[in-house]
A = this chain, B = another copy of it.
Amino acid sequence: MSDGGTAPFPLAVLASGEGTNLQALLDSVHGHEAEVVGVASDRPGARALERARAAGVSTATFPAAEFPDRAARDEAMAAWLVERGARAAVLAGYMALLTPGFLGCFPAGVLNVHPSLLPAFPGLRAVEQAVAHGAHVFGVTVHFVDEGVDTGPIVAQRAVELPDATDPAEVLAALRPLEHDLLPKAVRRLAAGTLPAPPTTR
């Protein structure tokens, strides 16, 4: 329960992979403006889970194979996170779509960080898409999640000019520091209540 605004904002993080954005949150806002109360993953082997445990944060895995369908998986995941007190969620490299039921459990919003300047290059392999398109400017977007694929309202964006980019891995490496700067800033604003209202998905 909140003690009236002085307690850190209780936050869930979902991650599927390496977890560098989770680490950025753990190293910055965690224990200050926000408290990461649980890290959930669809992949039991995700390195993000190790990072959470190393920071003393509870973890749980929800592999699709263990549930009859996506709705059931998302329901179980939301229940675990809400039980831990989470009022918002951050997708930090979480690679699956979320059901409206999941989104509805987090009234303060669900944030995602995406490695393109949305609305350009939504979906998977965004950096590869951008390189293949011949983009000279790349960037990252933090946005509220809605029921579409990377379609929700934009919260923050940063850009980097890489006019000679041909290697997606190099572009991604250039984008990482932007993500690690932008996402904690967005979470601080979420915790402070200074973001616009999230989209309604119910």
Interface residues of A (CB under 8 A from B): 117-121, 133-137, 139, 141, 153-154, 156-159, 161, 163
A161 pairs with B157, CB closer than 8 A:
yes
Given contacts A117-B135, A117-B159, A158-B161, 13 further A-B contacts (CB under 8 A): A118-B120, A119-B121, A119-B133, A133-B154, A134-B153, A136-B141, A136-B156, A136-B158, A137-B157, A137-B158, A137-B159, A139-B159, A157-B163
Bound-state CA distance A161–B117 (Å) is: 11
Say yes or no: A136-B157 contact (C-beta < 8 A), given A117-B120, A119-B120.
Answer: yes
Bound-state CA distance A156–B164 (Å) is: 10
A137 to chain B: which residues have CB within 8 Å? 117, 139, 157-159
Contact of A163 among B119, B134, B156 (CB under 8 A): B156
Q: Which residue of B lies closest to A157 (CB)?
A: B136
Bound-state CA distance A139–B137 (Å) is: 9
Q: Which residue of B lies closest to A119 (CB)?
A: B120
A134 to chain B: which residues have CB within 8 Å? 153-154
Bound-state CA distance A119–B118 (Å) is: 10
How far is the CB of A98 from the nearest CB of chain B, in Å? 21
Bound-state CA distance A131–B163 (Å) is: 25
A121 to chain B: which residues have CB within 8 Å? 119
Q: Which residue of B lies closest to A134 (CB)?
A: B154
A135 to chain B: which residues have CB within 8 Å? 117, 154, 157
Say yes or no: A159-B159 contact (C-beta < 8 A), given A117-B117, A137-B139, A139-B137.
Answer: yes
Bound-state CA distance A156–B141 (Å) is: 21
How far is the CB of A27 from the nearest CB of chain B, in Å? 23
Which of A117, A118, A153, A158 counts the most chain B CB atoms within 10 A? A117
